[in-house]
Amino acid sequence: MSDGNNARLLDPLFTTDAMREVFSDRATLQGMLDFEAALARALVATGQAPAGVLTAIEAACHEEAFDIASIGYAAASAGNLAIPLIAQLTRAVNRANKDAGAFVHFGATSQDAIDTGRVLQIRSGLALIEAELARISERLAALASEHAGTAMAGRTWMQQASPITLGLKFAGWLDAIERSRTRMAEVKLRALALQFGGSVGTLAALGANGTEVAAELGRDLKLAVPAISWHAHRDRMCEVVAAAAIAVGTAGKIARDFSLMSQTEVAEAFEPHEAGRGGSSTMAHKRNPVGCAVILSAAARTPGMVATMLAAMPQEHERGLGGWHAEWETLPEIFLAASGALYHLSAILDGITIDRDKMLENLSAQSGLAMTEPFTVALTKFESRENAKKIAEALARTAAESGQPLRDVILKDPQMQKFFKVADVEHFLNPKNFNGSAQAMIEKVLAARMPTASPDAQKKERSK
Amino acid sequence: MSDGNNARLLDPLFTTDAMREVFSDRATLQGMLDFEAALARALVATGQAPAGVLTAIEAACHEEAFDIASIGYAAASAGNLAIPLIAQLTRAVNRANKDAGAFVHFGATSQDAIDTGRVLQIRSGLALIEAELARISERLAALASEHAGTAMAGRTWMQQASPITLGLKFAGWLDAIERSRTRMAEVKLRALALQFGGSVGTLAALGANGTEVAAELGRDLKLAVPAISWHAHRDRMCEVVAAAAIAVGTAGKIARDFSLMSQTEVAEAFEPHEAGRGGSSTMAHKRNPVGCAVILSAAARTPGMVATMLAAMPQEHERGLGGWHAEWETLPEIFLAASGALYHLSAILDGITIDRDKMLENLSAQSGLAMTEPFTVALTKFESRENAKKIAEALARTAAESGQPLRDVILKDPQMQKFFKVADVEHFLNPKNFNGSAQAMIEKVLAARMPTASPDAQKKERSK
Amino acid sequence: MSDGNNARLLDPLFTTDAMREVFSDRATLQGMLDFEAALARALVATGQAPAGVLTAIEAACHEEAFDIASIGYAAASAGNLAIPLIAQLTRAVNRANKDAGAFVHFGATSQDAIDTGRVLQIRSGLALIEAELARISERLAALASEHAGTAMAGRTWMQQASPITLGLKFAGWLDAIERSRTRMAEVKLRALALQFGGSVGTLAALGANGTEVAAELGRDLKLAVPAISWHAHRDRMCEVVAAAAIAVGTAGKIARDFSLMSQTEVAEAFEPHEAGRGGSSTMAHKRNPVGCAVILSAAARTPGMVATMLAAMPQEHERGLGGWHAEWETLPEIFLAASGALYHLSAILDGITIDRDKMLENLSAQSGLAMTEPFTVALTKFESRENAKKIAEALARTAAESGQPLRDVILKDPQMQKFFKVADVEHFLNPKNFNGSAQAMIEKVLAARMPTASPDAQKKERSK
Amino acid sequence: MSDGNNARLLDPLFTTDAMREVFSDRATLQGMLDFEAALARALVATGQAPAGVLTAIEAACHEEAFDIASIGYAAASAGNLAIPLIAQLTRAVNRANKDAGAFVHFGATSQDAIDTGRVLQIRSGLALIEAELARISERLAALASEHAGTAMAGRTWMQQASPITLGLKFAGWLDAIERSRTRMAEVKLRALALQFGGSVGTLAALGANGTEVAAELGRDLKLAVPAISWHAHRDRMCEVVAAAAIAVGTAGKIARDFSLMSQTEVAEAFEPHEAGRGGSSTMAHKRNPVGCAVILSAAARTPGMVATMLAAMPQEHERGLGGWHAEWETLPEIFLAASGALYHLSAILDGITIDRDKMLENLSAQSGLAMTEPFTVALTKFESRENAKKIAEALARTAAESGQPLRDVILKDPQMQKFFKVADVEHFLNPKNFNGSAQAMIEKVLAARMPTASPDAQKKERSK
């Protein structure tokens, strides 16, 4: 039976300790207990319960005191965790103050406790994600500046296309990370909402005082108080996981690029070297990109989980059957995977090794055809764009088939000799001279970046 | 071969004409042509092309003039639609003005035209979705007001639980629809963005003038101009489809409720009756809930499509291989399904038939046990909450096992006779007296509703 | 850190102890150790290792002796579990016999141990699923026989359509379960296959002896020996999970039916009553269908997981990056969910309560229109089928609108009085007289059923 | 409105004409009409209808005669295609023979016609898939034989690992394709089944003759006759699409490998060169791997579609609401994508260009570290495996850090000079001497291959 910790053997690889704690079984129970304690305070504050019951209830709302195994087994019969938890809680409260038990969970339904507890976990989970995104953003901003002039091959359809700068690539990654940061801020506005409706959403057990208690409860828990309960309307949860999965997808895009750059034949960038990292059980030379593996794995796993959450939306009537249950294991799994993916991305960027020479050298691969476009552009001074493309295509083919560098083919061509001096060719074949607006784009991305907390604040956040 | 219309036999059932037109093959081509025309204007406006070329280019940018079949076949070899489209366009432009062809597509790459064209389609598609959501919102607001006092059974876990009002149910639906309206407004801010980066995102073919042309192009097309191109960063597209799928999920939740209420034995609400609607090939009496079938079908289909979009995010380098292609058929399919689902929801709400008497009658099903909670609450005047629940449980069991109404069981019970007069029992067993904050919640939802355009404006939008 | 048990709080609700043990972290390690022990035996049997090393290796291959926490943390750096496990194993073996460590894992790669260990877990998992399916099959066969004559409403599009028998419904469920049993038998033929290829699939470290060792290893582990290793070809895994998800889908279909029959207003069948089962924290009368919730939840979760497995198939080269990793948590989750769903289905069928009277009574709902089709058929003795349908439609409408029973409407109609005597009407409106081939179909399904093991053998299987 | 052809602009890229025809709207109607014609024959054969009606019914069952637009629009109201189709059919039959209309569709329900028609389409679709798989199998068998001795780098975790042969890679691909062929054969046994149950599955309208008519109908259509109808049990459909998606996944794995080998820096294998294929709108030198893009796109799209089919399984009662409808567009889409993916795979393999020299050259990349494992094995003659790995690791590091070839580092090392002569080093660093059982594995795969039809028969199949 669960010990409340429910760590899995592969958790150190696939997630972070901080996120695992946020969604541990113990934290799930504590989330519900935080709801119950706050409800008691709200009942007292609004005159629905005598002040005297508060001490006993608040004192009992700590998960350490609960027999977690028996709650799990009882949930198998009750159908949810709240019923056995509240039963144990009520007994404990009554032991301390025999009048107080009557006010435990008063006015609420199981789902109020479960959903609000989950929202509290989501709040912590989103804070971790935002902090990691901020760290990634900072690191990428530094890298984009540093490598604004580092030439490398731009690649499309998995083929070298035309030159870019490494800074531009980093800026593209950064821009997408920034959008994820904005998205996180937006979904919080809707998602961090109290769930409180009682058995069927009317708060009828509280008579006419339901909305007053709800307002107080939301204030206490620092959660938005929705106009109406949302027991069977799960769009809030779906939008949170979609935003998390999109962040993972962006991490996956970066890891895809990174793993392609790390290939033996490409060898442009590498994950941090650490003793034992990415070794092989048989091959002494291997340095496997472990971080990329984790990120790409998360990017493969989260889409199906989001589909589960979306497919579970048509929940029946006031509180549904099965759809709600499908969320219980799925949502935490998405946060766990997201946390692992972002952590590994952060770690890769912290310890990244970049080989600028190899980047330049790769631009000479396959006869240096990646410089065909600047050559074509240069030709348009003398020829129509259509003709220029045809000429460039022909010389590129010659280079490819003969294995000669494009440079040599151009220089040897009688017509080209008429158009260009050697220095001209050197100039337009130099990747540094074909960057267009790359620098301007990098600057725009950097200028638009959301502010991040100080590094110290970040460290604190992460170790929480 | 496609006639550009590419209507499917089941389109009248599953989608709307308006959305089908937005994502028709012809509209896809026109989207790209709109990009090309705007690019020509931007090139002229920024001095990158002579003003004289504009007439020829703009005149040629109309999809009617293109041989759609040959574009489709050529795309099979080229790998995308832009290459053959631009080849045909350039030839047409050159026929009109032999100097103008050179400025067609100048500075852009295929994906710039394809993505921006798609964004233009998304803009039209989102407008249709927003208009339908607004109509649904209006109708639900009216229904929530009208039925604020209509008593019915609240149901949880597919069992009658405690009474609610039909107005509360409508208000819950409305609140979720409103969140979708907000979400649509938010995703537009990021998603309706220009794609313009040239072959590898540097706009190098435009030398130092790339960002200026981009700014002008965005202004012309009324699209946001991003800091950097996003060819291989697909989070914008993913967030659009996630928002659409969430709206469909909410429609699915409503259709689930509705189809349950329409069951023969429940018979509380019905889809509009029209001749031929929902008939059967063999059963003369059948009135199948066709609208619900369409909505639930859309809610079953969109999650997998969103998963596809998310799973396709890790696209390689500057422009990816396969992942981008996976979006081409998937994104329109989501819009088509969403449009059909929301249209049917709108139509159901327009012609809904409600049987208030049956709603009340159903509260008497199974001995009227749905009134157990108010009975329990009433008991707490005399007993502890724990005892009250035990007593209520015992009498509910007696009622269930004997088949007698709970009312009779209470009235016959000696202890209850001590607590309650007949009038008391009548009072607390009247569902109208156990609505808690339902009315207040309805009012809050209505007050928070986003404004909608006038009905005339809506009609116009819809018929576009 | 994981204690190797990695039970979660909701496991008692969502899965079975038996399946949890099969896929526990400890069992995962033991699977790899079983591979390593068998490999040692195969090396000795084929002369690749001296017989003397066997005792030390076999003695060390027990998971209890390993420091599970340190393996988990080391996996975070190594990228998989095998590397730290084999390092610990080798040290342990060397302590017992300093010559033996050299033969640990000899010729194999990490993925050989991980995949083969996983296949051994799958074998145990499939055995549990097959045993549960057999139990369900037996129970459904008994129920189909018992209720071959129990009349109830057949329902299509969530509306009463025409009468069926409960036996027919059970037989339909049974037939689908039987197909799942056949599927399980088929996928085992391909899926229960050895993984053994060495670093890149050539078994090169074993020189010319690779295939001989592989043959011996397969014989030892009782696994099929494939022609070639399948490190990056994951179709075997995908077909296993697809088959499991299809079985869950069938369970979901049954739970959907069951939960609809259990609704308060329908009240035809109920989950087993047990103290505390399906109670509510606030409503004393509630008996929530907990089993259905679990099954429907599993049916909502497994499709997304299968999508993950399928989407992860395009794994790179000889052994992939990320795709393989995505399977590690996903595949066990599918087995856990499947086990829980099938267990709950089994439990529901064991303790099912059926209300035959209510089934009959429901056929009278909505004027008894469910008997419209037999009436139409009876009319075809006097009228064309087209006319018969029109007449029936008109009288059905009269019944529906007036609220009178169809029977009364028919008996009062002058034309009908010419066609039918009262006894005729009684006859064709009796659902027992409109069952067509239902009985024959039930018999066919029962006759085609695969044999099941004795109940004792089943019990044993289950408690393993 | 649909013209029955419903081709899309991107169909030439994403699918095949043959498969598009199988699932065209016209073919969908014809499938239903084939059911109706066969039903008429079965009714006559079993004495349920007079022989005289057959001519009129059979003559009318040709889709060309139907007004497809009106059927589509009527379906929007009826909720399915069968109702308007059968209405038109009945009118047409009655025009030819006024007694015959009464026997159209007699005993059947809409879903019988729709599902059986769909099964007939699936039969044609599976035949196309099987034929393409057979062609791929043949081509791969030839390539595996031809390249059994072609050395190349084996790559794991996207890093060079140890040498393999290209033949081994092809054999691995082939082995997976063969499993898909077997799977296709298996699913057909269950999936190609008649659907025939009447309104609620009892065939009640046929009285006691239902099973006899069903048997005759199955015989006529050459479909398996199931024991019971399966209207709301969709496992057959799910298993078909899962098998198709697995085949696509295998194609995706191959395309992933291929696109990685085609990268500019790797340059080991290329898609067929054809004029215009894979060109760029701006870069004259580009040869984009269009086939891989299509295959990877299909591999990204089908998992979500399979998830939709699985998630739609819990269909209500005798015939469901929404779940069934979700299949209508999803299943054909899977076949269309599968057909396109397999066609492109076939085309790539037909015209593949392989650069053996570059494969060998790539083995020298990064100091030739891919030969570290054979070096380690060679060391085990002198050192323990543990020590050997440590030594190899150290020398590999030296090579990597200094940029010297591993060969030179070994030859310069004093200790190594004691162990090995130059010829020894040459021998173990020659990739041809470290292939282990590769050749034996290739032979086993080839020997296990299922027979394929003659090339002529294949060509015929394909052009059908």
* Per-residue pLDDT tens listing for chain D (464 residues): 566 667 889 999 999 999 999 999 999 999 999 999 999 999 999 999 999 999 999 999 999 999 998 999 999 999 999 999 999 999 999 999 999 999 999 999 999 999 999 999 999 999 999 999 999 999 999 999 999 999 999 999 999 999 999 999 999 999 999 999 999 999 999 999 999 999 999 999 999 999 999 999 999 999 999 999 999 999 999 999 999 999 999 999 999 999 999 999 999 999 998 777 777 767 778 789 999 999 999 999 999 999 999 999 999 999 999 999 999 999 999 999 999 999 999 999 999 999 999 999 999 998 999 999 999 999 999 998 888 989 999 999 999 889 999 999 999 999 999 999 999 999 999 999 999 999 999 999 999 998 876 655 555 555 54
Asked if D280 is an active-site residue, the reply is yes
Q: Which residues of D touch B198 (CB under 8 A)?
A: 282
Residue contact B303–D306, C-beta within 8 A: no
Q: Which of D70, D280, D384, D402 is catalytic?
A: D280
Q: What percent of chain A has pLDDT over 70?
A: 96
Residue C197's contacts (CB-CB under 8 Å, 6 or more residues apart) are: C109, C112, C203, C228, C229, C231
- How many residues does the structure list for chain B? 464
Question: What is the rounded CA–CA span in Å between residue B194 and residue B108?
Answer: 12
pLDDT score of C98:
93
Digit-by-digit pLDDT tens for chain C (464 residues) are 566 667 899 999 999 999 999 999 999 999 999 999 999 999 999 999 999 999 999 999 999 999 998 999 999 999 999 999 999 999 999 999 999 999 999 999 999 999 999 999 999 999 999 999 999 999 999 999 999 999 999 999 999 999 999 999 999 999 999 999 999 999 999 999 999 999 999 999 999 999 999 999 999 999 999 999 999 999 999 999 999 999 999 999 999 999 999 999 999 999 998 777 777 767 778 889 999 999 999 999 999 999 999 999 999 999 999 999 999 999 999 999 999 999 999 999 999 999 999 999 999 998 999 999 999 999 999 998 888 989 999 999 999 889 999 999 999 999 999 999 999 999 999 999 999 999 999 999 999 998 876 656 555 555 54
Would the CB atoms of C299 and D314 count as touching at under 8 Å? yes
A54 vs chain D: nearest CA distance in angstroms?
46
Report the mean per-residue pLDDT for chain B: 94
Smallest Cα distance from A232 to chain C, Å? 14
CB contact under 8 A, C279 and A1: no
* Closest Cα in chain B, distance from residue D453 (Å): 28
Contact B90, B105 (CB under 8 A): yes
When pLDDT is averaged across residues A103-124 and rounded to a whole number, the result is 97
SS3 state at A304:
helix
Query: How far is Cα B165 from Cα C269, in angstroms, rounded to an integer?
Result: 28
Contact: B235, A435; criterion CB under 8 Å:
no
Spatial separation of the C-alpha atoms in residues A125 and A131, rounded to whole Å? 10
Kindly determine whether residue D76 and residue B280, on different chains, have CB atoms separated by under 8 Å: no
3-state helix, strand, coil in chain D (%, to 5): 70, 5, 30
A13 → closest Cβ in C75, C280, C281: C75
Q: What does the pLDDT look like over A141-160, one tens digit per residue?
A: 999 999 999 999 999 999 99
* pLDDT tens digits, one per residue of A226-236: 999 999 999 99
Q: Is B179 in contact with A190 (Cβ distance < 8 A)?
A: yes
| D110/B280 touch (CB, cutoff 8 Å), yes or no | yes
Give the integer Cα–Cα distance in Å for D180 and B86.
40
CB contact under 8 A, C161 and B293: no
The tens digit of pLDDT for each residue in A308-364 reads 999 999 999 999 999 999 999 999 999 999 999 999 999 999 999 999 999 999 999
Contacts of D463 (CB under 8 A, 6+ apart): D18
Distance between CA atoms of residues B196 and A64, nearest Å: 57
Q: Do C294 and A325 touch (CB under 8 A)?
A: yes
- Residue in C with minimal Cα distance to B292: C157
Residue corresponding to tokens 């088509």: B336
Residue C152 phi/psi, 5-degree rounding, is: -155, 170
Whether residues C211 and D441 touch (CB distance < 8 A) is answered with yes
Nearest Cα of chain D lies from the Cα of C190 at a distance, in angstroms, of 8
In the predicted model, what is the mean pLDDT of residues B138-149?
Answer: 98
pLDDT tens sequence across C108-122 = 999 999 999 999 999
Residue among D280, D321, D334, D344 with most chain B CBs within 10 A, to mutate: D321
Using a CB-CB cut-off of 8 Å, the residues of chain D touching B308 are 300-301, 303-305
Which among A12, A74, A325 has CB closest to C73? A12
Residues of chain C with Cβ-Cβ distance to B287 below 8 Å are 159
Task: Look up residue B240 and give its amino acid.
Answer: V
Give D281→chain B minimum CA distance, Å: 6
Give me the residue from A4, A79, A328 closest to C290, CB to CB: A79
Alpha-helical segments (H) within A354-384: 356-362, 372-379
Q: Name the residue facing A274 among C8, C77, C292 (closest C-beta).
A: C77
Inspect the interface and report whether the beta carbons of B285 and C155 lie closer than 8 Å. Answer: no
Q: Which of B5, B8, B25, B294 to mutate to test the interface with D (most CBs of D within 10 A)?
A: B8
Cα Rg of chain D, angstroms:
29
Helix (H, G, I), strand (E, B) or coil at B301: helix
Structure tokens at B429: 């067993």
Residue of B152, B259, B264 to mutate, testing the C interface (most C Cβ within 10 Å of its Cβ): B264
CB atoms closer than 10 angstroms to residue A274? 12
Choose the catalytic residue: C135, C319, C407, C449: C319
Catalytic residue among D181, D319, D407, D449: D319
Q: Which of A204, D435, A369, A97 is nearest to B428 (CA)?
A: A204
| Beta carbons of C25 and A9 less than 8 Å apart | yes
Whether B285 sits inside 8 A of C372 (CB atoms) is: yes
Residue D379: its H or E element: helix D372-379
> What sign for the dihedral angle of Cα D34, D40, D44, D50?
negative
User: Using the beta-carbon criterion (under 8 Å), do C265 and B264 form an inter-chain contact?
Assistant: no
Question: Given C280, C384, C402, C437, which residue is catalytic?
Answer: C280
Cross-chain Cβ contact D311/B325 below 8 Å: no
**In angstroms, what separates the C-alpha of D209 from chain C's closest C-alpha?**
7
pTM reported for the whole predicted model: 0.97
CB contact under 8 A, C79 and A325: no
> Which chain D positions have a beta carbon within 8 Å of C447's beta carbon?
227
Q: For residue C380, which residues of chain D lie inside 8 Å, CB to CB?
A: 102
Q: Is the pLDDT of residue B456 over 70?
A: no
- Share in percent of chain C as helix, strand, coil (round to 5): 70, 5, 30
For D361, name the nearest residue in chain A, comparing CA atoms only. Answer: A265
Chain A residues with CB-CB distance to B155 below 8 A = 200, 316-318
CA distances from C166 to C146, C269, C296, C442, D146 (A): 9, 11, 21, 10, 62
Q: What confidence tens digit (pLDDT) does each residue in A254-284 have?
A: 999 999 999 999 999 999 987 777 777 677 7
CA dist A394 and B256 (Å) reads: 62
Q: What is the DSSP letter of A104?
A: T
Write the CB contacts of D379 (distance below 8 Å, at least 6 apart in sequence).
D387, D388, D391, D392, D419
Chain B interface, mutation test: which of A181, A441, A444, most B Cβ atoms within 10 Å? A441
* Closest Cα in chain A to C278: A78
In order, the DSSP letters of D319-347 are: B-SSHHHHHHHHHHHHHHHHHHHHHHHHH
CB contacts, 8 Å: C300 with chain A: 308, 311-312, 322-323, 326
**Catalytic residue selected from B236, B319, B407, B449:** B319
C-alpha span between D383 and D376 (Å, rounded): 9
Best A277, A283, A383, A390 residue to mutate vs chain D (most D CBs within 10 Å): A283
- The letter for the amino acid at D313 is M
Chain B: list its partners (3+ Cβ pairs within 8 Å): A, C, D
Catalytic residue (one of A319, A339, A367, A449): A319
Beta strands at A159-165 and A151-156: parallel, antiparallel or unpaired: antiparallel
Q: With contacts defined as CB-CB under 8 Å, which chain D residues touch A366?
A: 264-265, 267
Is residue B319 annotated as a catalytic residue, yes or no?
Answer: yes
